[in-house]
Copies of this chain bind each other. A is one copy, B any other.
């Protein structure tokens, strides 16, 4: 039928090939069914650490967040004193900001104005006083969704030359896909694995040069802390990036969704906006910047609620107006996701009834992540064939995997990327579902796996145990 033809025309080659996850998910479903029917395997259940989906592997939601959300949904809960006083007060205040006092109402498309206002206050505090303006902030059902919307504005389909966006390698896939889906071109720049996945400005120059004649680069996309790389950029590196985009007149897209997730003791998170502001008016008032954040990451880990935002800096007012109108054609983000954003940036404070529990819960999460990062790093680097850079931030380990030539050969015979070949066997033989580096692009001839490290310590230990046993056997089998 006519539709099929149009579909086949439309879907970009990237979408045409089935995502690795779909293949692995089917495999995992089959294995689970076999286990349910009593099949004997060297493991009792599949551990899925493919995505950053922390509640899945047993991380607990924050009680304060869930209590406020429950009270907003069912205000009867605010009667009596079953819930802490600050929870009831917060819920009462939030409902007062909803149309008709109900989370069942649409909000303004950019988000509930009061919540947007409090986001801007959070950003100002975070950045040591650098001002943030509510009218530059747009809430959405997730940071990826915001990013796709900004790409929509940047990518000019009607131009004779394709619009290019410089994006890192490795890069988690959703964002890169959305550029190409819109008719834009990804211009890859390679992070330096040997230097702990550092972003090197000479590589940006090389990448930009490589685009000549192929596309018209208008933006640079950075992910800090890195996904999947786990690198946290230094101030110096960020300053170099800012000078680069200013000189080349590129729009800077800063994916900062892991800002609450920095594990390294030396490194801390500093936003691009803050670094930009501190570089003085010449840059601070001209570089166009979009920064993204989300409730799905960090201590919140509320992937299922769907809430994120973008803050725009230095955009031409005329462009801002178009972005505003573009956003107005969409429905608002889920109201509970919006509220979760507010709770993320305005947690209980010392003295509040909910603070002690909140403090215990968040400290526990941070301690767990630091432990997991340390253990994953140590175990992976003790295995021949694995090499893992320090995981300074984010939710993932992304070790390099030197596969034996026989394994690479076997994979190619099966028509599979070598790291997908490894990952399929790891799932089958050890019941651990990780993602192959080929999903994130990688330097030709290198292989990696990525797995989420947000899980209770005993599960991390189990994952590492299984990985170690499997890997040792795999390397022997293909030696």
- State how many copies of this chain the complex holds: 2
Chain B residues within 8 Å of A195, by CB: none
> What is A's interface to B at a CB cutoff of 8 Å?
1-11, 15-16, 18-19, 21-22, 25, 48, 51, 53-59, 61, 66-67, 69-71, 73-74, 77, 82, 98-108, 141-142, 144-145, 152-159, 163, 174, 177-178, 181, 183, 218, 249, 251, 288, 301-306, 315-316, 318-319, 322-326, 328-329, 331-337
Whether the pair B154, A3 counts as a contact (CB closer than 8 A) is yes
Whether the pair B6, A306 counts as a contact (CB closer than 8 A) is no
Whether the pair B10, A329 counts as a contact (CB closer than 8 A) is no
Whether the pair A174, B69 counts as a contact (CB closer than 8 A) is no
Q: Which of A319, A324, A329, A335 has most chain B Cβ within 10 Å?
A: A329
Whether the pair A69, B74 counts as a contact (CB closer than 8 A) is yes
| CB nearest neighbor in B for A306 | B334
Partner of A153, one of B7, B103, B156, B183: B7
Q: Known contacts A73-B73, A163-B6; is A56 also within 8 Å of B156 by CB?
A: no
Whether the pair A69, B61 counts as a contact (CB closer than 8 A) is no
| CB nearest neighbor in B for A51 | B106
Cα distance, A470 to B23, chains bound together (Å): 63
Chain B residues within 8 Å of A326, by CB: 11, 15
Cα distance, A423 to B153, chains bound together (Å): 32
Give the shortest distance, in Å, between A175 (CB) and chain B (any CB).
10
Cα distance, A51 to B101, chains bound together (Å): 16
Cα distance, A149 to B31, chains bound together (Å): 32
Whether the pair B305, A335 counts as a contact (CB closer than 8 A) is yes
Chain B residues within 8 Å of A6, by CB: 153-156, 159, 163, 218
Partner of A73, one of B70, B158, B177, B328: B70
Whether the pair B174, A329 counts as a contact (CB closer than 8 A) is yes
Whether the pair B152, A10 counts as a contact (CB closer than 8 A) is yes
Cα distance, A155 to B107, chains bound together (Å): 30
Q: Known contacts A3-B251, A6-B218, A15-B326; is A104 also within 8 Å of B305 by CB?
A: yes
Whether the pair B332, A304 counts as a contact (CB closer than 8 A) is yes
Whether the pair A157, B157 counts as a contact (CB closer than 8 A) is yes
Partner of A18, one of B58, B74, B325, B333: B325
Partner of A304, one of B2, B5, B105, B159: B105
The 6 closest A-B pairs by CB, nearest first: A304-B335, A55-B102, A70-B74, A6-B156, A56-B100, A56-B99
Whether the pair A329, B70 counts as a contact (CB closer than 8 A) is no
